[in-house]
Amino acid sequence: MATYNPFETAQKQFDKAADLLELDQAARALLRTPMREYHFSIPVHMDDGNKQVFRGFRVQHNDARGPAKGGIRFHPQETIDTVRALSMWMTWKTAVADIPLGGGKGGVICDPHNLSQWEQEQICRGWIRQISKNVGPHTDIPAPDVMTNAQHMLWMLDEYEMIYGERAPGFITGKPVGMGGSLGRTEATGYGTIITVREALKELDIKPENTTASFQGFGNVSQYAIELYHQMGGSTICVSCWDQADQTSYSFRKKEGVNLKELLSITDAFGGIDKSKALELGYEVLPGDAWIEQEVDILLPAALENQVTGETVGKISKRVKIIAEGANGPTTIEADKEIFERKIFLIPDFLANAGGVTCSYFEQVQSNMNYFWEKDEVLGKLDLKMTAAFIAVSDFARKHNLYMRDAAYVISVDRVAQACKDRGWI
């Protein structure tokens, strides 16, 4: 299987937008690479008495429109280029959602499956100790991402507050509710993705109750996306996930539609579904790639980057009308061309999954004023922001006869380049 470098993908996507916008050389040079990046070591006293050193990163791609913002992921195959790409996509995401933040991303090369809670706490606290001078509520605001959660964020916040000797709840988002977290944050990314799907269906004049969908991944994004999609009347035929024991992925299919509650009852905290229990409940257990070849109306990749590739794109059924990228960077450049040529309605990642960062922004606002909104208020504001962002991109795409990804890029890159110009940077 070919290997893909997500940073190269992100740069190629940016170059295309820069060409469309006829950006000058200085703007290109500034925006196609991160402004700052930090690489560091995190020593941890392991439970077995050994000491192990983990590698950590923080990349701040751009903060012209506001403090850098982006998650921290724990992953055994984490690379600096993945973090660079993700930080760049965060810049476009906060710009397309039109919130006053920039783009950043962090990571640690580690596998939480094999780490105790205490070992994970040390990694979180160590990460903050290495970078505390370069992040903060007015500089760079982290959040959870793949394999990190509210508990990790609270350990990080606590360490940061210990260093500075004061409370700083606006420093980090994705905190537990009751400890400065926002109601609705857990649901926000998945719900936000489905809000964009709802708007795309309206444009295509298709009723959600007449549609079916297939999801890659069954973690935070997919679980809440499926919840809202089912509330709208849609039916999910297939979901896939990573199987830690077998070190491979599987797809789980029920042609009459999966039951979310039932699937959640056999899923672990990492979004892994128990194969034998799924078989008992009447699910077909298929190879990992099967999610992409289902005869459905909507495909929703929500696992990792580089999953829809030149090798897998040909498997997409003729029936598919919408691809909503819940994950960051799930589609390679090669596959993207084919999706464009086949006229599938694509909702690009940094628009489709902007609900998470939008709600993180709401969390930061609530934390800073120490006044918390009811869940309905948060979700109502989320709906308004996501709908407005979707309509801005789809109107622009229609008006200028552009592919949805290109339209989203042009809007975002233009906003960020303008902020850099207004500040006198370029």
Q: Which residues bind ligand NAD (CB under 6 A)?
A: 145-147, 189, 216-221, 240-242, 249, 270-272, 288, 302-304, 326-328, 353, 356
CB 140 within 8 A of CB 63: yes
Q: Of 103, 77, 75, 93, which is closest to residue 4 (Cα–Cα)?
A: 77
Strand order in 322-324's β-sheet?
Answer: 284-287, 248-253, 235-243, 212-216, 298-301, 322-324, 345-347
**By beta-carbon distance, which residue lies closest to ligand NAD?**
219
How near is the Cβ of 218 to ligand NAD at its closest, in Å? Answer: 4
Query: What torsion do the CA atoms of 366, 369, 374, 375 make, to the nearest 10 degrees?
Result: 0
- Token pair, residue 286, equals 């298929």
Q: By C-beta, is 354 or 420 nearer to ligand NAD?
A: 354
Which of 105, 175, 254, 385 is an active site residue? 105
How near is the Cβ of 177 to ligand NAD at its closest, in Å? Answer: 15
Query: Which 3 state secondary structure label does DSSP give 314?
Result: helix
Classify residue 176 by its DSSP letter: P
* φ and ψ at residue 119, rounded to 5 degrees: -65, -40
How near is the Cβ of 229 to ligand NAD at its closest, in Å? Answer: 15
How near is the Cβ of 223 to ligand NAD at its closest, in Å? Answer: 8
Q: By C-beta, is 94 or 249 nearer to ligand NAD?
A: 249
Query: Which 3 state secondary structure label does DSSP give 232?
Result: coil
Q: By C-beta, is 25 or 276 nearer to ligand NAD?
A: 276
Terminal C-alpha separation, the chain: 41
Residues whose CB is less than 8 angstroms from the CB of residue 119 and which lie 6 or more positions away in sequence, other chains included? 44, 46, 47
- Output the CA torsion sign for 223, 329, 84, 395: negative
In the block, residue with structure tokens 């090798």? 311
Query: Which 3 state secondary structure label does DSSP give 238?
Result: strand
In the block, residue with structure tokens 């936000």? 192
CB 230 within 8 A of CB 298: no
Q: By C-beta, is 1 or 53 nearer to ligand NAD?
A: 1
How near is the Cβ of 268 to ligand NAD at its closest, in Å? Answer: 9
Q: By C-beta, is 229 or 242 nearer to ligand NAD?
A: 242
C-alpha 178/C-alpha 169 separation (Å) is 12
Interhelix angle 6-21/404-422, rounded to 10 degrees, is 80
Q: By C-beta, is 62 or 240 nearer to ligand NAD?
A: 240
Q: Is 254 assigned a catalytic role?
A: no
Classify residue 164 by its DSSP letter: H
Q: By C-beta, is 116 or 248 nearer to ligand NAD?
A: 248
How near is the Cβ of 26 to ligand NAD at its closest, in Å? Answer: 30
How near is the Cβ of 275 to ligand NAD at its closest, in Å? Answer: 12
C-alpha 324/C-alpha 298 separation (Å) is 7
Question: Which residues belong to the active site?
Answer: 105
